[in-house]
Structure 1
Amino acid sequence: MLDIATAVCLIVGSLMSLAAGIGLLRFPDLLSRMHAATKPQVFGLLLLLTGLGLQLRSWAVVPLLLIAWLFQLLTVPVSAHMVGRAGYRTKHLRREILSVDDLDAVVEAAAEENPEGVDAVPADRVTAEGRAAAAEVEPGMPADPQSAASAAGPAVNNQDSTGTPRD
């Protein structure tokens, strides 16, 4: 009976992981791909680890399998959140398929507050100490960005037209 339960868990878990991989390749936009990469993959891993635990028939491996699944359960949503946030901020999403856009009002309010961009540093916050700290990071380079660009000299292109490095 345990062998049948193991086979079912391993087969269904493998199919869920396969579905996640196919979804990553076939879905048209970032948010759909992100969903395909997280939901079935985590559930597929749970089934695979359950099947492995049933097949090994040892209580000693249960904590290790549980820790492996918990780490996956904790890291996958965080990485999906970061990918979704980056995709939203760089406008790599299809707004016509969104049913509700909860972030639209937040992004508009942030844009009105800081018209130069969310990540831009206001000029009054750049201090002499900050320029001196930047100069300490790269010794020999001027603290002023314009003079740093001129001190670096002309840009040298070490690649051919295909992007392959030249010898």
Structure 2
Amino acid sequence: MNGPLDVVAAVLMLTGAAFCLLTAVGVLRFPDPICRLHAAAKAQTLGVLLLLLGTCLQVPGRHVTPLVLVVVFQLATVPVLGQVIGRTAYRTGGVHRGGLVMDELAERLAADESGERGDGRRG
């Protein structure tokens, strides 16, 4: 094995593991679903990506393609899932709306319920 490459891979994997651990702490400690989503979406994605990058440096070349596909899948699905979970938490009352600085979703939902389109015209 290559000494400097092993050190870089170890640093990447340990950093990724630290981000995953911080995600777990954030999900347990943050007060509402919106804050938990930030921890779960951002820190966990970065942690997984760093772990996979460190792994790519250690495995033979033929195993890199599936790892890259996992990276692409993570980057494609985590934001969508976070959006769906956040909107569901908002609609079911799981979000403390008084703590929001801007509440654009309330305006959008009110417009949808009244039959208006997003540009203010009737739909």
TM bucket, shorter chain: 0.7 to 0.9
1:7 to 10, 34, 38: 10
Residue aligned with 1:55, SS: coil
Q: What corresponds to 1:20 in structure 2?
A: 23
Residue aligned with 2:104, SS: coil
Whole-Å separation in 2 of the counterparts to 1:49 and 1:30? 27
Question: Matched residues, percent identical?
Answer: 40
Give a deviation string over 1:11-66, Cα, whole Å, max 9, x none. 0000001111111111000100011101011111111011111122x221121110
Larger Rg: 1
Q: What corresponds to 1:123 in structure 2?
A: none
Q: What corresponds to 1:65 in structure 2?
A: 67
Q: What corresponds to 1:94 in structure 2?
A: 96
**Higher RCO structure, 1 or 2 (CA under 8 Å, sep 6+):** 2
Higher helix share: 2
In the TM superposition, residue 73 of structure 1 has moved relative to its aligned partner by: 1.3
Supply the AA of the counterpart residue of 2:111: A
Q: What corresponds to 2:81 in structure 1?
A: 79
Moved >3 Å (runs of 4+): none
Residue aligned with 2:58, SS: helix
**Count of residues in Structure 1 that have an aligned counterpart in Structure 2:** 112
